[in-house]
Structure 1
């Protein structure tokens, strides 16, 4: 019974993400989600309570995509700046390819139309970026005098603007190249020994490397 309920939630969430991403919050109704998902409006209200609850669930699913990426890039060896660049490229791919991520982004942009309080965007990414830049600074990778917190804000703001422009101009088709162009401009000011081309090349090699398998749980 529980598995069936989870399957229903996943199917409704997937259908809602497609509609929210295409039509926005105001342009999507519970009836639209019911028709697209194949479940009744009553089932949707049972699982999510309201249209606001459904939007909040999609937004939460958007945020749930990030810990696995951050964990993967934090666990890799090598220079920290290369891992930060690789993480940003991985995030760009998610915005391009993952409808849950795209839907959450659109809901964030339309949050004033949603009568429930959604988590504040960007705060987590600024924190993650600050931590990575601080580690890079400890490794001697950053230019002397770099203000880590200010640099993190600039990186996140620049990435957000790059993504927004790519979305508006070509529906994110070229967002990965746009992020490469961004780092080509930012890295000479961040690196102690500027080598943006080498850093980007090595970050791409990490990006395309298959994730390491998880260690088995004790006792298995």
Structure 2
């Protein structure tokens, strides 16, 4: 019984994510989610009190996806700056391919029309980037003029600004190309011995090894 309930909860969450991403919060109803998920409205309300709570669950799922991505990247071998670049591509792919990630981002952007308190974005990303930049300094890979506490918010702002632009211009289809150009511009300013193309090649080649195979909906096994 518990397995069936969990299966229902996940099916509802996934269906809601697809619809919230495709249509937005206001244009999606519980009836739509019921039809998409193949579950009754009663089953949906059993797990989620209302549409607002279901939207919040999608946003929480979005935020909950990142700690394992960060931990997996930080556990790999290699210098911190290489890990930072590799992490940025992992995040970019998730925003492009994972409907829960994309739906969570859209719902957060529409938070003014949703009567629930959303978790704050970006703060954890700034902390993660600052930590990796600080390690890069310890490893001797950061330029003297670079300052982790100052540069981390700027890097995060530019990274997510790039995502907004790519979302509007090409539905993120070219996000990896745009991100490559982003690092070619940014790395010469923070690397102790600038070699952005070499670092990019190492980061992208290394992270391709052992990456879980994607499922049809963009999530991984």
Asked if the contact 1:143–1:191 (Cα under 8 Å) also holds between the matched residues in 2, the reply is: yes
**Cα distance, 1:59 vs. partner?**
0.7
1:50 equivalent to 2:13? Answer no
Asked if the contact 2:145–2:190 (Cα under 8 Å) also holds between the matched residues in 1, the reply is: no
Unaligned ranges ≥5, structure 1: 213-220
C-alpha distance in 1, partners of 2:112/2:150? 28
C-alpha distance in 2, partners of 1:211/1:39? 33
C-alpha distance in 2, partners of 1:96/1:32? 24
C-alpha distance in 2, partners of 1:169/1:145? 34
Asked if the contact 1:62–1:101 (Cα under 8 Å) also holds between the matched residues in 2, the reply is: yes
TM-score norm. by structure 2 comes to 0.94
Unaligned ranges ≥5, structure 2: 213-221
Aligned counterpart, 2:98: 98
1:109 equivalent to 2:115? Answer no
**Cα distance, 1:145 vs. partner?**
3.0
**Cα distance, 1:114 vs. partner?**
0.9
**Cα distance, 1:202 vs. partner?**
0.2
C-alpha distance in 2, partners of 1:70/1:134? 16
Asked if the contact 1:12–1:44 (Cα under 8 Å) also holds between the matched residues in 2, the reply is: yes
C-alpha distance in 1, partners of 2:211/2:72? 7
Cα deviation, 1:121-145, whole Å, max 9, x if unaligned, reads: 1111111111111111111111103
**Cα distance, 1:211 vs. partner?**
4.8
C-alpha distance in 2, partners of 1:51/1:24? 12
Cα deviation, 1:83-137, whole Å, max 9, x if unaligned, reads: 1000000100001110000000101111111111010111111111111111111
Cα deviation, 1:58-100, whole Å, max 9, x if unaligned, reads: 1111112111110111111211111100000010000111000
Asked if the contact 1:72–1:211 (Cα under 8 Å) also holds between the matched residues in 2, the reply is: no
C-alpha distance in 1, partners of 2:170/2:146? 34
Asked if the contact 2:34–2:41 (Cα under 8 Å) also holds between the matched residues in 1, the reply is: yes
Spell out structure 1 runs of 4+ moving beyond 6 A.
none
TM-score norm. by structure 1 comes to 0.94
How large is the Cα RMSD of the aligned pairs? 1.1
Aligned counterpart, 2:71: 71
Asked if the contact 2:82–2:202 (Cα under 8 Å) also holds between the matched residues in 1, the reply is: yes
C-alpha distance in 2, partners of 1:94/1:8? 24
C-alpha distance in 2, partners of 1:164/1:51? 26
C-alpha distance in 1, partners of 2:175/2:168? 11
1:29 equivalent to 2:64? Answer no
Aligned counterpart, 1:169: 169
